[in-house]
Structure 1
Amino acid sequence: MTDRPGAGDDRVLTGMVWGVKASFLGYLLRMPGSRQKTCFGAGELDTGEFYFSLEDDSSFDRLTMTGLLKFRGLVELRAHGGMLNVQLINPWLDISVRQTVLSVIDRAQPVDSDDRVELVTVAMPAPTTDGETVMWSAAETYLVDTAVPIFNDVYRPREPFDPITVRIMA
């Protein structure tokens, strides 16, 4: 099942777009039997990047541009008969003056758990606005120590991952 936003769909006005890591996705595409699944508010764009819909921005302060942005959706990346299984579930972006971190639900926990694992730090650029939306475009991301096992220990901590773009209502 793929939930794919399209032209004229209000969901494309707000949300997060992230390609994860192009070389990782390229590797998966070359593997026989590999698969990608998006659902529950996530979709794959024509660019190959993943879209996560904005679920909640009530903890975000638009004056200081800090706080928590909660996104919704599941992206599952599987290969090697399930031995490689990366699940990006309901990402949250915690933006502070000191550091910005993207986390997802920890799939090692029970399904109803809210326990999260940090994936990447994000170098947030200055936001732009068009009067209706606020956008951070092409924010650089770097893998954190706790996420190394999620990607089967292939990447080192602080490895650059693909940039993210985030858009919320002004």
Structure 2
Amino acid sequence: MTQPRGAERPPMPETEPLPGLTWGLKRSFIRYISMLPDGGHSVSGSASLTYSSFFNFEPAADSTYDPITGRGALKFVGEVRLTGHHNLLFVMIADPWIEFRDGEATLSVADTRYWPDRRRRIPLAILQAETLSRSIHGVCGEARTFLTGEGVEVFNGQYGDGEELDPVFILGSTPPATMD
């Protein structure tokens, strides 16, 4: 990943984020879509539109995140589809996961090249996860995100490797880790 470019950070949602993952993706991209005569979005599954163009993905039941070790995956469910230019512009963000390992956090999404297979993933963004709080009850907080080289194709090459995206807001609970 290249060095992130300096970008003005979007404001945090005006009210507390809903449980799950709340994300504006990239505000300038959302504004661009909204200005297109045929620009639009749809949400399905357990995704919803909140806070004037912030998307929320509900927590999935099969997360593997262990709050004691800080490793594993926080999984979220739902789909967001953004379209424009008579469907020549199409971006789909489905079932985001945040995987924590070796002090790093990566946000991946279902790889639409293999749709509807949701098991194949593409790393979309690197998170600056040190700003997240974790406890036995889960993870919460805001983390800056930066587009990965693999994620460039999700946005049809409009943004480069290392481009700063909007921060994610996580309000997630995890099942308590078992003590052996």
Q: What is the TM-score normalised by the length of structure 2? A: 0.80
Matches within 5 A, 1:125-164: 125-128=130-133, 133-164=137-168
Report deviation, 1:114. 1.3
RMSD of aligned C-alpha atoms?
2.2
Larger RCO, structure (CA 8 Å, separation 6 or more): 2
Report deviation, 1:127. 3.5
CA change 1:63–1:57 in 2 (3 A) is farther
Gaps of 5+ in 2: 1-16, 175-180
The ranges of structure 1 where at least 4 consecutive aligned residues each deviate by more than 4 angstroms after the TM superposition are: none
Can you list the C-alpha shifts for 1:29-77, whole angstroms capped at 9, x where unaligned? Answer: 1111111001100001123210000003541111122211110000000
Which residue of structure 1 lines up, in the alignment, with residue 50 of structure 2?
Answer: 45
Whichever residue aligns with residue 147 of structure 2, its letter is L
Pick the structure with more strand per residue. 1
Residues of 2 paired with 1:161 and 1:73: CA distance? Answer: 19
Contact 2:67 2:136 (8 Å CA) reproduced = no
Residues of 2 paired with 1:53 and 1:168: CA distance? Answer: 9
Residues of 1 paired with 2:118 and 2:172: CA distance? Answer: 26
Whichever residue aligns with residue 119 of structure 1, its letter is L
Contact 1:142 1:160 (8 Å CA) reproduced = yes
SS in structure 2 at match of 1:147: helix
Gaps of 5+ in 1: 1-10
Contact 1:35 1:78 (8 Å CA) reproduced = yes
Which residue of structure 2 lines up, in the alignment, with residue 5 of structure 1?
Answer: none
Which residue of structure 2 lines up, in the alignment, with residue 101 of structure 1?
Answer: 106
CA change 1:57–1:35 in 2 (3 A) is same
Size of the aligned set, in residue pairs, is: 159
Contact 2:140 2:172 (8 Å CA) reproduced = no
Contact 2:132 2:143 (8 Å CA) reproduced = no
Percent identity among equivalent residues?
28
Report deviation, 1:133. 4.8
